[in-house]
């Protein structure tokens, strides 16, 4: 019987900071120490893993790299508690442990032939990054790709270099925002839900995916409805405290659904039925 509680060691290939501050965000690019683990590993955009250090603990994070990026995984982690603080101490060459892949994924196969608009806020862009990368790497399978992303300040923007590259390429529309005015900021100033109304993507044959702080998601969902998106065209991910990651320990339920097992990806149509979803 395969033991789903046993994590695998990964070696850090590279690290860099996405955002500064007390709750800074660091990206870890890692590879499994035991090459054989790659033989059984396969994940899809949206899936998660338990990440941690034996002796400290483990926490659930989305895998912020797409399976089309071969030979490594990425995790973009905000320093928030005991485990994440210990992870932030690590640099290239160090190791930690990964258990997964866990949870469900964005149904990208079902979205083939459709336009996709991603709406992210802050570290909430982490689960959207693999979606974007997947579509960029399978460009012919999808229609128009539109990116909407914002954070408090320009320094708080994650994946800055990649957004810059996408903007320069000009292949897909990319709309960035910050909450308050900064000198020489060439893009939108205001909150992400406002930017969404400004961009006003058409719901015609389009899927909208949103991740970010709960308050942002709440208003994004309202504004998507205003724009004519139906609940089954809208996807998001939920977060809850998790321990086992495999639907046993009981703590991450929203209504009858376990975020770790039935999620983290949910359609808005599903969540509308669950009163606890945005508690």
Partner 1 sequence: MALKKLSKEKMGEVLGELSKFRLVAPAKSDEVVVFKQIGDPQEAFLDYGNSTVPPKKFAFPQTETLFRFMVGSPELKEKNVEEEGTTVIFGLRPCDARAMAIVDKLFSWDFDDPYYLKRRELTTLVGMACVEPPSVNCFCTSLQGSPFGTEGLDMLLTDMGDYYLVQSLTEKGEKLAETLSSQLEEAPAGDEKKAEEMARESEGRIRRSISTAGIPEKLPGLWENELWKRVSAACLGCGICTFLCPTCHCFDIQDEVDEGGEGRRCRMWDSCMFEEYTLHASGHNPRPTRRERTRNRINHKYSYYPNRFGVIACVGCGRCINLCPVNIDILDILDQVVDAQ
Using the minimum distance from each CB to partner 1, give the nearer residue, 66 or 84: 84
Smallest gap from Cβ 94 to partner 1, in A, equals 10
# chain residues binding partner 1, by CB under 8 A:
39
| Residue span 59-78 as binding mask against partner 1, x where in contact by CB under 8 A, dash where not | x-------------------
Region near partner 1 per CB under 8 A, out of 54-62, 113-121, 153-161, 166-174: 54-62
Smallest gap from residue 105 Cβ to partner 1 (A): 15
Q: Which of 112, 164, 226, 241 binds partner 1 (CB under 8 A)?
A: 241
253 binds partner 1 (CB under 8 A): yes
Residue 264, φ and ψ in degrees, nearest 5: -80, -10
Token pair, residue 224, equals: 């998507």
Stretch that binds partner 1, among 12-20, 137-145, 169-177, 243-251 (CB under 8 A): 243-251
Is residue 180 a contact point for partner 1 (CB under 8 A)? no
Q: Is 130 in the site for partner 1 (CB under 8 A)?
A: no
Q: Give residues in contact with partner 1 (CB under 8 A).
A: 1-7, 9, 33, 54-59, 80-81, 84, 95, 214, 239-241, 243-244, 246-251, 253-256, 261, 275-276, 279
């Amino acid at each position: 019987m395969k033991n789903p509680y046993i994590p695998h060691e990964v070696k850090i290939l590279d690290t860099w900071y996405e955002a500064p501050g007390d709750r800074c965000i660091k990206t870890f690019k890692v590879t499994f120490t035991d090459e054989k683990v790659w033989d059984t590993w396969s994940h899809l955009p949206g899936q998660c893993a338990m990440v941690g250090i034996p002796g400290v603990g483990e926490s659930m994070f989305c895998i912020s790299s797409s399976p089309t990026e071969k030979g490594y995984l990425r995790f973009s982690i905000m320093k928030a508690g005991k485990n994440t603080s210990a992870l932030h101490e690590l640099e290239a060459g160090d190791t930690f442990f990964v258990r997964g892949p866990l949870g469900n994924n964005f149904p990208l196969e079902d979205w083939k032939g459709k336009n996709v608009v991603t709406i992210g806020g802050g570290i909430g862009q982490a689960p959207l990054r693999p979606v974007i990368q997947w579509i960029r790497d399978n460009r012919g399978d999808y229609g128009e790709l539109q990116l909407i992303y914002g954070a408090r300040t320009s320094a708080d923007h994650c994946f800055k270099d990649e957004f810059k590259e996408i903007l320069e390429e000009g292949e897909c529309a990319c709309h960035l925002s910050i909450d308050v005015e900064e000198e020489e900021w060439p893009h939108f100033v205001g909150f992400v839900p406002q930017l969404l109304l400004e961009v006003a993507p058409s719901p015609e044959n389009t899927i909208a995916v949103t991740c970010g702080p709960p308050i942002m998601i709440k208003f994004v969902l309202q504004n998507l409805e205003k724009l004519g998106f139906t609940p089954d065209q809208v996807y998001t991910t939920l977060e809850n405290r998790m321990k086992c990651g495999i639907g046993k320990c009981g703590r991450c339920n929203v209504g009858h659904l376990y975020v770790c097992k039935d999620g983290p990806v949910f359609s808005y149509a599903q969540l509308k039925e669950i009163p606890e979803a945005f508690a």
